[in-house]
Structure formats: structure tokens, C-alpha cells
Amino acid sequence: MRLRQSFHFFLFGMFVGLSLSGLIFFGYTSSWFSRTDVTPWLAPVVCEGTFDSNLIDSIYKQQNITIATTVFALGKYTRFIKDFLESAEEHYFVGFRVHYYLFTDQPEAVPEVKMGKNHHLTVRIVPSMDRWQDISMGRMEILEKLMENELANKVDYIFCLDVDTKFYGRWGVETLGRLVGVLHPWFFDYPRDQFTYERRQESQAFIPAGEGDYYYTAAAFGGSLADVHHLTKTCRKQLNIDAANSIEAIWHEESHLNKYFLNKKPSKVLSPEYLWRDINMSVGQVKIIRFSHVAKNNAEVRPNV
């Protein structure tokens, strides 16, 4: 553990060193914090120009790491599996060991996709649900159990991604860290008082006005297995408390994720290059689009909209 912490500290220094040499974040400047290369707690913000891909790949190659990746595809969301997996095999941790865990209620709908070297896919069956909100909130418990029962001592890092997405560019080891959050593509350039945090004090996801750092997406988050396990366990407990009190946070598990990141800061933050929005793909607010939601009709694919 001490060796891995030292390794992360070394990589942090490399990221910050690149930023301070003039390779600055993609243009976002908060109204309350002027530095754009690191967070207020000095975690690196990763975007194009803040890392040397060849150098960081060579460093991580020596670590012999495995990355687990989870996606959920229930109901009509199975239509997104093919593009997700095929684009991932072109851009996602190429050259490293990756194990995808796909949770679905329709295993027969999972297409055949050729996996690259040291990339594997495991399909797990989960029950169908009538509300997309329940699908969304139920992920934390499933992920918690997966890490406890199967992944301990088998993988080093884990990312939890939405399936209605597609990769367009490199997503590599520059994203790895102890605890990794991704800036929400709709709110990264909003002032803090416009973040859609949960504002009801009765909810475990409550964040008071005037508090908060960034608004993070729940469509992509990750980190070391131990840290993400603690995240999912904490969010699951908070979701259960809310459910017992007949409260549903405004943005469901994403609200609880943002509360968690308020109390336990990410050690690395990814720019919206790593999760862009499914419209305005040509907008010049980021230097490159690496990963993005795909355009869809929510009323058509979600069961209760």
C-alpha cells in the first residue's frame, strides 16, 4: 500500500509539473477559484496537454495492473452495448488488462464483440426494473457486492461507466488514481450556486448553499478498488436511509456521489473531455472529445418517462 501511495504521489508531481510549465486546463475558470490546472486541494485536473501518453504508459506498464469496468444495460439500453464495447476496444486502456462486467436483464441481446489482447467480458444477469430511477440507484449496491465478493485481490482499479456512451479518443492510464471524479459536461462552466445539488436537509445527499467544489457526473467515476468500494458502500447506505424516510434525492445516486466527493475529495479530476454531452459535439470548449453520451430519446428508452 505504501509503495502504491508513493507511486501515485510521483505521478501527481508529474501531472502538476506539466501543468505549471504552461499546459493549462481547457479554459474553465471557477468564479471562486482561479487556478485551472489543479483543484483547490491540489489534485491534478486531467485534460489534453497535461500528460505525455508515451511516458505515462511506460510507467504503468511496469505496474502490471488490471482495470475492471462496469456497465449496466437494462431494457432498451441494450441497443447501446455494441457501440460502447466496439469503441472501447479501439480507445479504452489499449495495451492494458481490462475486464468488463456487463449487467443486463437480457443476456441474449449482448452482441458478439471481438476483445483485444488481455481484454475480457463477463455478462451478469440482473432483474428488470420498472423505473429508470431504481436502475440508477441500484447500481451502488451491485457494485459494492461485486467488489466484495469477486474483485478483491484480482484487480487494481475500477471504473463505473454508463452504457449509452461511445469512445472517440484515448482513455488511458492518465485517468488512474486513488479516487477519480469526472466533471459533469453540463455544469463544468457554471458558477457553484447553479449546481443542482440536493438541497433538502432531510436527504443524506444534502449539500448546503455555498458549499461544494465541482459538480461531478455519475456516468463515469472510478479509482482504486478499495476507494471505490468505500464510495459505493457509503452511497448505498445513504440511499437506503433516504428510502426508509421516503426521500429520493433530486438526481438519485449522482446526488449521493456529489455528497461523497464533497466530504472525501477525489485525488484526480477528469475534464469533460472524458464525458461530453450528446449534442453540440463540435463545440470548442474542450480540445478533444474522448468519451461522450450518445444522442437518444429518453422518453423512448426509459421505462417510466
Note whether 259 and 239 are within 8 A (CB). no
Measure Cα distances from 66 to 92, 115, 145, 225, 269 in Å. Answer: 13, 15, 19, 11, 21
Q: In whole angstroms, what is the distance from residue 148 CA to residue 106 CA? A: 25
- Cell numbers 453520451 correspond to 293
Q: Say which DSSP state 223 is in.
A: E
Note whether 104 and 78 are within 8 A (CB). yes
Q: Say which DSSP state 18 is in.
A: H
- Phi/psi of residue 185, each to 5°? -65, -15
CA torsion angle 88 164 207 229 (round to 10): -50
Active site residues: 254
Candidates 259, 221, 246; CA nearest to 143 is 221
Longest dimension (CA), the chain: 52
Candidates 143, 145, 87; CA nearest to 116 is 87
Helices (H), the chain: 2-20, 53-61, 81-91, 132-146, 225-244, 253-263, 298-301
